[in-house]
Amino acid sequence: MEEEILEELRKLSEEAKTPLDLPDEDQVIRAEEELLLPIPRDFRRYLLTASDVIYGHLELATVADPNMQTYLPEMAAVAWSYGLPRYLLPLCETSTGYYCIDPDGFIFLWENGELSKNYWDTLWEWIQDVWLEE
């Protein structure tokens, strides 16, 4: 499933005036050090292999360029200041909150100060059900 979703993301990726870069392992580690949290396995794989994909209106977190508005440590700091529980990492911002990932790799929607009862078991399921279906 994971490989098929990565392939689909590559096919759908839009051309951008300023393309995004993929990070290297050192940049991911630097982001973890800034966050003081490990990045869950699936999210790490996504960051290293597909975080340069631009598709639809959702802007997923990145770690390659600290100057981007989607830079994960900065996005997390803002989300945490709004009340997102500190153990969660934001995947992307929505109009009413954030999609976020917990340490075990489950994906939740946090909006209006609360976690939804619905969740996705993996990042790949969330990408397929939410990002690719938007």
| Cβ contact 52:15 at 8 Å | no
Evaluate if pTM is beyond 0.85: yes
How many Å apart are CA 100 and CA 1, to the nearest integer? 21
User: Does domain 2-131 correspond to CATH entry 3.40.1580.10?
Assistant: yes
Residue 18 confidence (pLDDT)? 78
Q: State the pLDDT confidence band at 17, using cuts at 50, 70 and 90.
A: confident
- % of the chain beyond a pLDDT of 90: 91
Residue 14 confidence (pLDDT)? 86
Cα–Cα distances in angstroms (integers) from residue 43 to residues 17, 72, 74, 84, in the given order: 25, 11, 16, 18
- Across all residues in the chain, what is the average pLDDT? 95
Angle subtended by helix axes 41-50 and 25-35, to nearest 10: 130
How many Å apart are CA 23 and CA 27, to the nearest integer? 6
Q: Domain ranges for the chain, please list them.
A: 2-131
